[in-house]
Structure 1
Amino acid sequence: MSNYSFAEHAHRFAVWAAGRAYSRSGGDGGGYSVPYAQRMLEAAGMRDINTPEDLPCKEGIDAFIHERIEAVRAARPATYEHHKTGKNETFRCTYGRAQKLVNVYLKSKLVCGGYHDDERVERLHPPIDRKLLIGLSAFCEVVADQDEYAEFRKNLLDAQVLGDSWVIFTHSTYEAYIKAIKSLQQGKPLWAVEEHWLP
């Protein structure tokens, strides 16, 4: 009799989704593959997050996500074996890469796992990537003359000054974009900002 549980099933899917998303846009080192993503996510304790009860209160979500991102980064190997040359090369996992892993994992397991209306899940951060950044910029232009979006426009501009490539985001750049997203959502679920994600 198999001991394969639904929790394991959900974990494997979330690892695959996060690993594939994190591997997009090469460069900045390497080793961006699902097996390395799994290694880092599991070392960071992500497997143990199965329901909203495994999250802190909604006020603690930002700190929790930062801790998970840093735990993923701390779990990165020193080197990876290049799939073509077979040589060991330096493995890099920027804050931007790690946020993609953590946020896609949580999106797959919790946001899309039927808990989207829980107040803690509503505070989870959307995965930030190129397509979301392009969508936010486009929306900013559309509402350029609308006063109700003035704070969002200012916050997005402040974030863009810090950088616009998610793969090399630092903690401060990431936080600046999260601030802009929060000012746009105005209390609505943060996951819903992905209406501006351009496929």
Structure 2
Amino acid sequence: MSHSEGSGRILPGRRSHCEIDLVSAPRWNGSQDMIRRHETGFRVALMGSDAALASALIVIVFAVRFGPGWPDVLTELLPHPALSVAIFCAAWIGLLAAHGLYRPRARWSVRSDAIGVARTAVLLAFGTIAVLFMLGWTSMSRFALLAIFPLLAAATIVARTALREIFRQARRRGRNFETVLIVG
């Protein structure tokens, strides 16, 4: 007897047409209340925050390292600074996506998310240094290179944890709430 023949119960692996599509795996805080239709918003928020963090950290690190004249120094170090920063941000987001860090159900805990971000930062560091070496841009500030990657990983972990908390609080306050009427 299937779930639609009036048995009153839903067999494993089957979903009723009127049930809320809740994620059933446990999370780091024991909450199981993420509605799948909010995944896209969560992914877009993560990608946007990751891109903003990466570009802001580059600006901050170069401003700290070179002082008020940092735009001129950055222009001397890189032929097209805006394009270089955009490529760096795209590489960061691409590597995060390649490691599955934009799939919320793949990373249930902050710890697993942090480990994935740290691995991605290490790969980006090696890739960036290799590209700079191959292009002959060896005059890049070593302080900037040593500072950007750990700061980027730490800021990304903090931002992702904060976004998780913001979405969780919104759900608890009823802002991301689904009302379902089951008849029958």
Structure whose alpha-carbon radius of gyration is higher? 2
Task: Tell me the TM-score normalised to structure 2 length.
Answer: 0.40
**What is the TM-score normalised by the length of structure 1?**
0.38
Structure with more relative contact order (C-alpha pairs < 8 Å, separation 6 or more) = 2
